[in-house]
Amino acid sequence: MSEKASEKSEMSTVEFCQRALREEIAPPSIGSVLARIRYASRRLGWSYSRTKDAWYADSRISIKPEELFRIEAVSGLTYARQELRKNEEAIERATALLGGEDPHILRTVVAAVFQALGFQNSPRA
């Protein structure tokens, strides 16, 4: 599977919130959709319209980090923590590939680029 296809198959933040609202925070046992949205709104401390937008995964909204953390706290699900962990691991891998915290890495990279371009290191006067 290509990288682009893989990214598309992952759940977006809005979709995650929609699923958490519908299945965990305000499950069908609560009653009608209207009652469930009201219930979720009270549990999250959000406005009714904000909760409704997340409920229907309105494409015009974006979920703020504090809202995502609130969804996680109320639902018991962990989306942001997994994303944060993946980002931290990617940063660690990139740092390792770049030579870690080596202070001379930039000098080495610049010297290699100059050499590849045919520039000679000239002694400074």
30 inside domain: yes
Q: In the predicted model, is pLDDT for residue 106 greater than 70?
A: no
- The answer to whether 39 and 51 are in contact (CB under 8 A) is no
For residue 70, is it within any domain?
yes
* Domain assignment present for 122: no
The C-alpha atoms of residue 48 and residue 39 are separated, in whole angstroms, by 9
HSE-up of residue 78 (Cα within 13 Å, Cβ side): 6
Q: Tell me, yes or no, whether 125 lies in a domain.
A: no
Q: Is 124 among the domain residues? A: no
Instruction: Report yes or no on 69 lying in a domain.
Output: yes
Identify whether 113 is part of a domain.
Answer: yes
Domain count, the chain: 1
What is the enclosing helix (H) or strand (E) of 52? helix 48-55
**Measured in Å, how far apart are the chain's first and last C-alpha atoms?**
56
Question: Exposed/middle/buried for 16, CB within 10 Å: 0-12, 13-18, 19+?
Answer: buried
Classify residue 25: in a domain, yes or no.
Answer: yes
Residue 1: pLDDT over 50: no
Checking if the pLDDT of 17 tops 90, the result is yes
Q: Which of 6-10, 37-41, 85-89, 113-117 has the lowest mean pLDDT?
A: 6-10
Domain enclosing residue 50, as ranges:
3-117
- The pLDDT of residue 8 is above 60: no
d(CA 80, CA 64): 11
